Chain A
Amino acid sequence: MSSTIAGEFLVVVFSLGEEEYGIEISGVQEIIRLPKVTKLPGNDDYIMGIVNLRGKIISIVDLKKKLMLRTSEANDETRVIVVDLGDKSVGLVVDEVEEVMKIPTEMLVPAENIGSSLQANYFRGVVRLDERLLILLDVNKIFA
């Protein structure tokens, strides 16, 4: 965790529907607006298609569909978080990117402590903020 210092880590906070999610900043490449997507037939339906990002072909994933959440139309706030999966980059479509937040490590409740019913594979855990909960996703596990 190169981006953390003395028990802190940085998270890109975004929303999907009513809930707030976070992705650790080290895995994030950049944030862009939703570009025109070229559809690819015969793929999983959560893959919206591909785009050409400055010469690099990346897949665009409807993250809500992937997480089996209620989907919605794209609007002015819709953003794509481009994440680095080592060998490839994937664009995750989210409702809105809110901020980059610095989170003390002790506020993270690891997924294994929450309960067996969760699809624990996708989550690193939950961060308790003052009056809200932030679900911390593990992108590498989602697209493993």
Chain B
Amino acid sequence: MITIDRAEAFKDLASFLAEIIPGGVVFGITNRETITWRIASKAFDIPFCQVGDKIRVGGGPYRAMQDRIPITEKVDREVYGVRLLMISTPFVDENDVVIGSITAILPRLHPVASAFPDFAPIMADMFPEGSFMYLTSLNDFAARHGSKKFDVPDVQVGVKLKDGAAAYEAMHTKQLSIREFDASMYGVPVQVMNYPLFDEDDAEQVVGTMGITLPRQHALELRQMATNLTSGLEEISAVIEQMAASAAQINSNEKLLNQNVNEVFKLSEDINEVLAFIKQIADETKMLGLNAAIEAARAGDAGRGFGVVAEEIRKLSDESKETVGKIRALTERIKDKITETTKNSQVTLHSSEEQAAGTQEITASIEEITGMAENLNRIALEM
């Protein structure tokens, strides 16, 4: 057991010891009720536990004196606002009565928390749209770092966590929590990720979370563009389908036209056949007329009237023959026009087939692009 004189001697050594302990330390000496002496290192000090302050009932120094043994107490953030380690040992007077304690108060920083000031400034700006990084205890913000591009000024160290905050989910599930928020919360859509931090000595006990808030404006825009692209392509596809249907209609119409024109061509030939028959009749009639004239001449005066009729018949047959010639010329012209029409409709048919082939090629390209747009959509959703 340390005696009082040794405790007094410790005071002389303490200032030297304080500066050589990594992370710093606060040494204190108490009597049974109050703090009587203290010294703090340059690296670490606390605003509480001042000389004259009462010692905590049930705290480390209290129990050390009560039980006459050294006590190491882990002081949670809730007690003084920081996590501390208090190592206390009692000392006695000449009569072996406990009259006080020597206490070393060490900062108890989580490794992530102690590294945070080093890594947060480096990492925060690594994200394309910037980021906001922070640490929380079980109920408030313990550290924060905003990037150049993105910051959340409302969140400062000591600000209480709101009910339903994303950090709570990580604490409760003890797993990584990812939440997305629309622009109503931070002005831009964000993704908030929280990872639970566990006690260094107890892997089951959550002591806080590390969080990162990522703006997602680009991802959202990309997602919207991908969606617009997909719906635009669907519209184009529909129009092209209509075009293909029209081309098919033109094609079948032209085929029908071709068929009809061919029928007209055949009808013209039929007319020519009829004309040949009419010409034959005209020839025959002419011969009858000539023979009638010969008979009339032979009959002498008696046949004169009949001769006139015979001449008229012959004239009529000549006219019939002339008319046949004219009609034939007309049917030839019809056939010429039909040939021309057929040629034109062949050109149209060819064009409509080319158009159909073209639409097929476009459709294939659109399908390819649609596939790419769907990929883009998927990637945008995963971002």
Chain A 1-18 against B: per-residue CB contact (8 Å), 1 yes, 0 no?
Answer: 011010000101000000
Interface window among B6-14, B41-49, B144-152, B290-298: B290-298
Interface positions, chain A 17-46, Cβ under 8 Å from B, are 25-26, 28-33
Which B-chain residue is minimally distant from A4 (CB atoms)? Answer: B297
Q: A31-B291, A79-B287 are in contact. Are A100 and B300 (CB under 8 A)?
A: no
Number of interface residues of B (CB under 8 A): 16
Which A residues lie within 8 Å of B304 (CB)? 5
Number of interface residues of A (CB under 8 A): 19
Query: What is the CA–CA distance of A121 and B154 in the complex, to the nearest angstrom?
Result: 142
Query: What is the CA–CA distance of A33 and B293 in the complex, to the nearest angstrom?
Result: 17
Which A residues lie within 8 Å of B286 (CB)? 97
Shortest CB–CB separation between residue B376 and chain A, in angstroms? 81
Chain B 272-302 against A: per-residue CB contact (8 Å), 1 yes, 0 no?
Answer: 0000000000010011001101100110110
Contact across chains for B294 and A100 when beta carbons are under 8 A apart? yes
Contact across chains for A30 and B294 when beta carbons are under 8 A apart? yes
Query: What is the CA–CA distance of A77 and B307 in the complex, to the nearest angstrom?
Result: 23
Shortest CB–CB separation between residue B199 and chain A, in angstroms? 124
Q: A76-B283, A99-B314, A100-B310 are in contact. Are A2 and B291 (CB under 8 A)?
A: no
Provide 15 A-B residue pairs closer than 8 Å at the C-beta atoms, listed in order of the A residue.
A2-B300, A3-B300, A5-B301, A5-B304, A10-B307, A25-B294, A26-B298, A28-B294, A31-B294, A32-B287, A79-B287, A97-B287, A99-B290, A99-B311, A100-B311
Residues of B within 8 A of A (CB): 283, 286-287, 290-291, 293-294, 297-298, 300-301, 304, 307, 310-311, 314
Residues of A within 8 A of B (CB): 2-3, 5, 10, 12, 25-26, 28-33, 76-77, 79, 97, 99-100
The 8 nearest A-B residue pairs measured at CB: A100-B293, A25-B297, A3-B297, A31-B290, A28-B294, A10-B297, A30-B291, A2-B300
